[in-house]
């Protein structure tokens, strides 16, 4: 189980498959996230308060998504292959929206297609998960959420203070994150090790199909590793 | 039969299903790991959803197979969806038959598609029967928690 702080992180999961929605919901809840699931990109945008014909409000004072809807969304995880609006289309719309572009987006796909993966990462997706998604994949979400939350807080303050003061605040929150992270990471690592041990005990050495073997893409490309200490920019 | 014996039976059946490649070990174990006191029947629930979804997709596949000319693009789309669901619940044999089916769709091979669909349905039924027994055993053993 995650720390109390996790219960306030809200993930929006988008997938047209009923089974996959149920699965991702369960995975996320087990990882102590609040979850909302929708079955299409357009429903996702509706939920986020961004309508197809909506013009972004130039008077909007903050980049926080809080402006547009009641519940804050800290991360969006979406399937790639969906009828109508694909996950990529959704990603683009989010990154083009001044109010939503700071929300980290993760893409899921059952197909390991390097060009697809690159396209998504270049468009601003934080991660690309191969389906079926595992609990261990979700452990990689937290750094993205924490990085963004602190970035939002800092950007709000920068609007009203001098550059110098802003960078001071940056340092302070960076330290806070490191403290928060190190105890969380420890727990995560324990859980991860436990999980890996369980798997290792009963599986043959080469059965890890999560590695991108077929396409010859190096794992580093699709799965950026984070050391657990997030740098706040 | 006492609870421990029943649980051993359940574990034995699970291993056997995995050995016979009905189920993918990693994925199925992951699913069972997601069960807890507040969600004790998650695996059975998701499998039940899978059956509902598969019967819907089978109908659509059937229609597409009987369209003249055979609509390979639509077929491929439906099979792709079904393959995804199968993979999510760890149904390897079913998933592999879907892969074959997709190849026939891409090749525009009508005969191949018809045969592939029969095989998909066959594997689907076989798994369904096995899982019914498995869930019954689990219920008898009072198993609704993580090991």
Which of the residues A13, A23, A129 would you substitute to probe the B interface, choosing the one with the greatest number of B C-beta atoms within 10 Å?
A: A23
Other beta carbons within 10 Å of A74: 23
Indicate the pairing of strand A127-130 with strand A75-79. unpaired
Q: Which two tokens stand for residue A198?
A: 């369980």
Residue A147's pLDDT is: 80
Residue range B92-112: average pLDDT?
97
Residue A211's pLDDT is: 39
> Is B46 in Cβ contact with A19 (below 8 Å)?
yes
Cβ-Cβ contacts under 8 Å, B46 against chain A: 19, 22-23, 26
Give the closest of A17, A135, A202 to B81, CB-based.
A17
- Considering only alpha carbons, which residue of chain A is nearest residue B54? A19
Q: Which two tokens stand for residue B36?
A: 């807890």
The SS3 of residue A128 is strand
Question: Which residues does chain A have with pLDDT short of 70?
Answer: 1-7, 52-70, 152, 156-233
> Is B39 in Cβ contact with A19 (below 8 Å)?
no
Residue B146's pLDDT is: 40
- Distance, in Å, from the CA atom of A14 to the CA atom of A17, rounded to the nearest integer, reads 9
Give the number of A-B residue pairs with CB atoms closer than 8 Å: 58
pLDDT digits (tens, 9 = 90+) for B19-34: 999 999 999 999 999 9
**């998960």: which residue's tokens?**
A129
Q: Which two tokens stand for residue B70?
A: 């055979």
- The closest of B42, B23, B6, B43 to B130, measured between CA atoms, is B23
Element at A76 (helix H, strand E): strand A75-79
- The closest of B120, B89, B101, B97 to B24, measured between CA atoms, is B89
> Is A81 in Cβ contact with B34 (below 8 Å)?
no
Residue A50's pLDDT is: 86
Residue A203's pLDDT is: 44
Residue A2's pLDDT is: 46
Give the closest of B26, B29, B46 to A23, CB-based.
B46
Quote the DSSP letter at residue A54.
P
- Considering only alpha carbons, which residue of chain B is nearest residue A16? B81
- Distance, in Å, from the CA atom of A101 to the CA atom of A98, rounded to the nearest integer, reads 6
The SS3 of residue B23 is strand
Quote the DSSP letter at residue A127.
E
Residue A168's pLDDT is: 66
Cβ-Cβ contacts under 8 Å, A17 against chain B: 53, 81, 84-85, 88
Residue A190's pLDDT is: 52
Residue A124's pLDDT is: 96
Residue A159's pLDDT is: 61
pLDDT digits (tens, 9 = 90+) for B45-96: 999 999 999 999 999 999 999 999 999 999 999 999 999 999 999 999 999 9
């Amino acid at each position: 189980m995650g720390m109390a702080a996790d219960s306030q992180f809200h993930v929006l999961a988008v997938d047209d498959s009923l089974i996959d929605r149920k699965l991702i919901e369960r995975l996320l809840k087990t990882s102590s996230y609040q979850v909302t699931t929708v079955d299409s990109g357009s429903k996702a945008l509706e939920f986020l308060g961004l309508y197809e014909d909506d013009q972004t409000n130039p008077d909007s004072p903050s980049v926080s998504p809080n402006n547009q809807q009641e519940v804050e969304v800290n991360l969006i995880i979406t399937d790639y292959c969906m009828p109508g609006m694909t996950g990529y289309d959704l990603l683009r719309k989010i990154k083009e929206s001044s109010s939503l572009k700071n929300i980290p987006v993760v893409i899921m796909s059952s197909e390991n297609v390097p060009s697809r993966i690159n396209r998504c990462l270049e468009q601003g997706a934080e991660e690309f998960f191969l389906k079926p998604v595992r609990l261990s994949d979700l452990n990689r979400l937290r750094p993205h959420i924490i990085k963004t939350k602190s970035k939002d807080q800092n950007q709000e303050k920068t609007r009203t203070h001098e550059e110098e003061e802003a960078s001071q605040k940056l340092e302070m929150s960076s330290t806070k994150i490191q403290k928060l992270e190190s105890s969380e990471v420890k727990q995560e690592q324990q859980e991860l090790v436990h999980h890996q041990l369980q798997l290792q005990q009963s599986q043959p050495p080469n059965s890890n199909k999560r590695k991108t073997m077929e396409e010859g893409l190096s794992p580093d490309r699709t799965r950026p590793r984070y050391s657990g200490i997030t740098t706040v920019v | 039969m006492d609870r421990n014996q029943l649980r051993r039976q359940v574990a034995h059946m699970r291993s056997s299903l995995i050995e016979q490649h009905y189920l993918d070990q990693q994925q199925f174990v992951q699913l069972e790991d997601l069960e807890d006191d507040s969600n004790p029947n998650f695996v059975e629930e998701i499998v039940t959803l899978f059956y509902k979804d598969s019967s819907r997709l089978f109908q659509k596949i059937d229609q597409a197979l009987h369209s003249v000319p055979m609509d390979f693009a639509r077929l491929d789309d439906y099979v792709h969806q079904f393959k995804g669901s199968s993979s999510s619940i760890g149904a390897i044999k079913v998933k592999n038959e879907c892969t074959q089916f997709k190849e026939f769709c891409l090749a525009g091979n009508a005969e191949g598609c018809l045969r592939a669909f029969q095989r998909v349905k066959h594997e689907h039924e076989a798994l369904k029967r096995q899982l019914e027994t498995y869930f019954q055993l689990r219920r008898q053993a009072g198993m609704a928690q993580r090991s």
